[in-house]
Amino acid sequence: MPQQPEVPGTSPRDELVDTVLSELGPVHQPSPPALVLRGRSFDAGRPAVMAIINRTRDSFFGANRHADLDSAKRALEEALELGADLVDVGGVRAGQEGEVVDEQEEIRRVVPFLEWARASHPDVILSLDTWRSGVALAAADAGVDVVNDTWAGADPELVHVAAQLGAGYVVSHTGGLPPRTDPVAVTYGDDPLDVVRDVVTTLARGARAAELSGIPPERILIDPTLDFGKTTQHSLEVLRHTADVAALGYPVLQALSRKDFVGESLDLPVEERLEGSLAATAVAAWLGATVFRAHDVRATRRVVDMVATIRGDRPPRKAERGVPLAR
């Protein structure tokens, strides 16, 4: 090692260096419990990417509209090639804009596709994005692995149907809003942390209800559900407190991809929100989230794997730099 030049005397900065060195220790990060689905385990060292396939004509991100069945099939094949671990299939736009979709139309959109996906890819982990118990029941033969209840128990039977199917379940937080309701004049109190308190309390209650319904904790995901029932300031505050959500002891799902809180933070349209989404993803991964619902599978895969490696939960795929060559 090259010798550092000696600097005579001491200074306050030397004392600061001594303090830093005396307090130096291992980096402590949240260690979320494993999510176990279809015999596969996901945790801090093996984070999961959940690809989004919307069987709609009006999803907010135009590149993810797959009303045509062949388009949806191609999207699933590509997502798996790019590194997706789960595939989340939905048939209704989340926001209030767009088409009115009744239960039978939602079933028509998602069930045949799910059945094709299961037959074509027997080992793929399938997630159904719905708030309707009737849709989940109709998808029983497709072997759905997760019921993604984006609207926080609006249909109280849905969690029981998920248990009946032997599926995992996503507990979400929407601030009490009914399905397909965009937030207007939302408030949680004067303290910025009030929204975090509401999220943590609601998710803990929902996860406990899912357990009581018969769903094992390793198949229960908790989702802070940014944007839903939240202003941009609310979503940013909750994102900063991902570690507090992870401390509840369930795997955390973060659905951050191209959302409005990203767009408003950077004043960018949906098509230009990739970098902001990936920055939010890196923060959430560092703070203990395990599953990431994403439109951009390959970029998200690389980000969460890199964060896992920086955290020390995943070894580098190769480590040759500076290593002595074998003789």
Strands, E assignment, 277-327: 291-294
pLDDT over 70 for what percent of the chain?
97
Helix (H, G, I), strand (E, B) or coil at 133: helix
pLDDT bracket for residue 132 (50, 70, 90): very high
Q: Report the pLDDT value the prediction gives residue 1, as an integer from 0 to 100.
A: 55
Is residue 242 within 8 Å of 287, Cβ to Cβ?
A: yes
Q: What is the pLDDT of residues 72-103, one digit of tens each?
A: 999 999 999 999 999 999 999 988 788 899 99
Residue with tokens 């307090």: 23
What distances in angstroms separate CA 310 from CA 49, 226, 301, one per listed residue? 18, 25, 14
- Do β-strands 40-42 and 168-172 pair in parallel, antiparallel, or remain unpaired? unpaired
Reduce the DSSP state of residue 142 to 3 states and report it.
helix
Task: Tell me the three state secondary structure of residue 252.
Answer: strand
Residues in the chain: 327
* Inter-CA distances, 295 with 51, 180, 206, 214, Å: 6, 20, 26, 31
Amino acid 3: pLDDT: 64
What domains lie within the chain, and their CATH numbers? Answer: 47-311 (3.20.20.20)
pLDDT, tens only, 217-273: 999 999 999 999 999 999 999 999 999 999 999 999 999 999 999 999 999 999 999
Buried b (16+ CB within 10 A) or exposed e, 40-75: eebbbbbbbbbbbbbbbeebbbeebbbeeeeebbeb
Asked if residues 49 and 83 have their Cβ atoms less than 8 Å apart, the reply is: yes
**Is residue 128 pLDDT above 90, yes or no?**
yes
- In the predicted structure, residue 155 carries a pLDDT above the cut 90: yes
As given in the structure block, the two tokens for residue 230 are: 């939240």
Nearest to 53 by CA among 38, 69, 35, 37: 69
Average pLDDT for residues 20-28, to the nearest whole number? Answer: 87
- Residue 69's closest CA among 109, 41, 31? 109
What does 30-70 look like in DSSP terms, one character per residue?
Answer: --PPPEEETTEEEBTTB-EEEEEEE--S--SSGGGB--SHH
The yes-or-no verdict on residue 190 having pLDDT over 90 is: yes
Reduced to 3 states (helix: H, G, I; strand: E, B; else coil), residue 96 is coil
Q: Is 1 exposed, middle or buried (0-12, 13-18, 19+ CB in 10 A)?
A: exposed
Check residue 71 and give its pLDDT. Answer: 94
CA 132/CA 152 separation, integer angstroms:
11
- Residue 160 pLDDT more than 80? yes
